[in-house]
Amino acid sequence: MKKVLIVTWALLGVTLCVNAQKIKGSDTVLPLSEKEAQAFMKNNKGNKVMVTGGGSGVGIAALIEGTTDIAQTSRKIKFSERQKIQNKGKTVKEVIIGYDALAVIINNGNGINQLTKEQLEGIFTGKIKNWKEVGGADLKIIPLARETSSGTYEFFKEKVMENKNYFSGIRSLPATGAIIQSVSQTKGAIAYVGIAYLNNSVKALSISFNNGKSYIKPTEENTKNKLYPIIRPLYYYYLTSSESKVKNFINFVLSFEGQKIVQTVGYISTK
């Protein structure tokens, strides 16, 4: 009898694991999805939500391959990605779960406090190579970027660089945590991260999108009021064929309680 019970519970455990909702993708959305999943599972006993990162492109690729239920992204799905889903006879649904500010960060030992959009473009395209060219010390600029699969990488390229290419050989890192660590340890470094990742180990710059007439710092208040110029939506994508499986979780994220978590993590509510 004991052996039968052990086998039964073991099989049940496998079943629960298989039926668990899986969320994969953007490292920007990762801390938010983790908090939402924890609260959802606490309120819905017996439900399991597993969350992993890897980048927006990785999440959408997993959705296309059928290895995740929800792709979490910090960019809009591409036409080519949507087409791949349609070629499989499926349709995808988009949900905006919050908004994020993208902060430009430098080392705390760097005396610069603000940059214009044009200066940022020059730095990340390789035209500006020394901090003295933007009013700083005689120090080589070391730009850092996310990997090409990252939605943050693509959004920064589109919004700040107006789709100009990053300079050849720019150092790319696989995760936001690695970006923060590298900038904190490298005096000439500059990079960009989601506002929820900001901490005292790096300095967030004030940014101007009007040729230096005004500079806005990526604070929580400036983000909520949408005064800060580098703001983007955060998305969940899922297949309509999986709607019954993911609906309760997504409804929770969009609920009053779920949107309070969005604000707690440091992003902007959709409400």
Task: Look at residues 133, 137, 135, 106 and name the one whose alpha carbon lies nearest to residue 122.
Answer: 133
Predicted structure pTM score: 0.78
Homologous superfamily in CATH for domain 100-224 = Periplasmic binding protein-like II (3.40.190.10)
**Residue 5 reports pLDDT greater than 60:** no
pLDDT tens profile 151-183: 889 999 999 999 999 999 899 998 888 999 999
Question: Angle 176-223-77 (CA atoms, 0-180°, nearest 5)?
Answer: 55
Same fold, 2-98+233-265 and 100-224: yes
Measured distance CA(219)–CA(221) in Å, rounded: 5
pLDDT tens profile 215-269: 999 988 898 888 999 999 999 999 999 999 999 999 999 999 999 999 998 888 9
Q: What CATH number belongs to 2-98+233-265?
A: 3.40.190.10
Sequence spans of domains, the chain: 2-98+233-265, 100-224
Give the contacts of 264 (CB within 8 A, at least 6 positions apart). Answer: 35
